[in-house]
């Protein structure tokens, strides 16, 4: 059976992209990274992808008159590669409403907080400033509203008394690298269904939680 082709969008180091590439090396993994697209020519993640033999494309956003024109160029590259799922992995661009509408229910993002708490940027510092005792990461479908799409799964980590934004980010990142490949697997296996703001995962009882707590 043909594997689902993933298009990964990055702007920087691409560590979640690397986690997806690593997961896809398993013979039984039902997806493969078909192309990595970056809006930044010097993004370190591009070399990681190239070293893994994966096609890459650089589409600088500054070369376009507006967000939608840029988004359409990115979409054309993804479609050329036969992509069935778009995975945002540190893609530091706010997309026009056209893009998530065009890729509705076929575009996901991983965010380093337990949404809906702490959307946007500097999320670890937001958590520390709020005195949060628990933080984590969220994989969600992308909609035109920033960091507000239907939540698929989350992983929680403790916020420790001596945490800085950097130490908390590192603890969360370890769980991002576990959670994102798992959700992509579910999507590729056809196990996800969206009804309004809720996502169901086939094979998971309705009473089960999809909040993972891997650290004490």
Rounded Cα distance between 138 and 88, Å, is 12
- The order of strands in the sheet holding 134-141 is 55-58, 31-38, 4-10, 85-88, 107-111, 134-141, 151-158, 211-212
Q: Which CATH number is 113's domain given?
A: 3.40.50.170
Burial of residue 156 (number of CB atoms within 10 Å: 0-12, 13-18, 19+): middle
- Domain identity same for 124 and 209: yes
Task: Calculate helix-pair angle for 44-51, 15-23, nearest 10 degrees.
Answer: 10
- Domain identity same for 90 and 114: no
- Domain identity same for 51 and 139: no
**Candidate from 92-96, 121-125, 158-162, 201-205 with smallest mean pLDDT:** 201-205
The last residue of a domain, from among 103, 125, 148: 103
Chain segment 100-123, per-residue pLDDT in tens: 999 999 999 999 999 999 999 999
- Domain identity same for 60 and 118: no
pTM for the model: 0.94
Other CB atoms within a 10 A radius of the CB of residue 79 amount to: 12
Residue 203 clears pLDDT 90, i.e. is over it:
no
Picking from 189, 105, 109, 174, the residue whose alpha carbon sits closest to that of residue 147 is: 109
Q: What is the band of 206 on the pLDDT scale with cuts at 50, 70, 90?
A: low
CA distances from residue 84 to 75, 79, 204 in whole angstroms, order as listed: 11, 8, 23
Q: What is the band of 99 on the pLDDT scale with cuts at 50, 70, 90?
A: very high
Active centre residues (catalytic): 111
Residue 52 domain boundaries: 1-103
Picking from 34, 62, 12, 29, the residue whose alpha carbon sits closest to that of residue 180 is: 29
- Domain identity same for 84 and 138: no
- Domain identity same for 120 and 88: no
Counting the structural domains of the chain, the total is: 2
The last residue of a domain, from among 81, 103, 125: 103
The last residue of a domain, from among 103, 137, 170: 103
Q: Give the residue carrying structure tokens 């799409």.
A: 149
- Domain identity same for 96 and 176: no
pLDDT for 57 equals: 98
């Amino acid at each position: 059976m043909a594997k689902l082709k993933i298009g990964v969008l990055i702007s920087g180091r691409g560590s979640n992209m690397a986690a997806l590439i690593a997961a896809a090396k398993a013979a039984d993994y039902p997806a493969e990274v078909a192309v990595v697209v970056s809006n930044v020519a010097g993004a370190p993640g591009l070399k990681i992808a190239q070293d893994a033999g994966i096609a890459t494309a650089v589409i600088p956003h500054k070369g376009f008159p507006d967000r939608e024109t840029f988004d359409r160029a990115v979409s054309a590259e993804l479609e050329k590669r036969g992509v069935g799922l778009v995975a945002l992995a540190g893609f530091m661009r706010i997309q026009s409403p056209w893009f998530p509408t065009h890729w509705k229910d076929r575009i996901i993002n991983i965010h380093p907080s337990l949404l809906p708490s702490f959307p946007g940027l500097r999320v670890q510092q937001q958590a520390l400033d709020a005195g949060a005792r628990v933080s984590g990461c969220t994989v969600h479908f992308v909609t035109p509203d920033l960091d507000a799409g239907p939540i698929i799964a989350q992983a929680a980590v403790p916020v420790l008394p001596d945490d800085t934004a950097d130490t908390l980010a590192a603890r969360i990142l370890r769980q991002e690298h576990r959670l994102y490949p798992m959700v992509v697997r579910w999507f590729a296996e056809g196990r996800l269904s969206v009804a309004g703001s809720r996502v169901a995962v086939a094979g998971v009882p309705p009473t089960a939680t999809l909040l993972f707590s891997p650290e004490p």
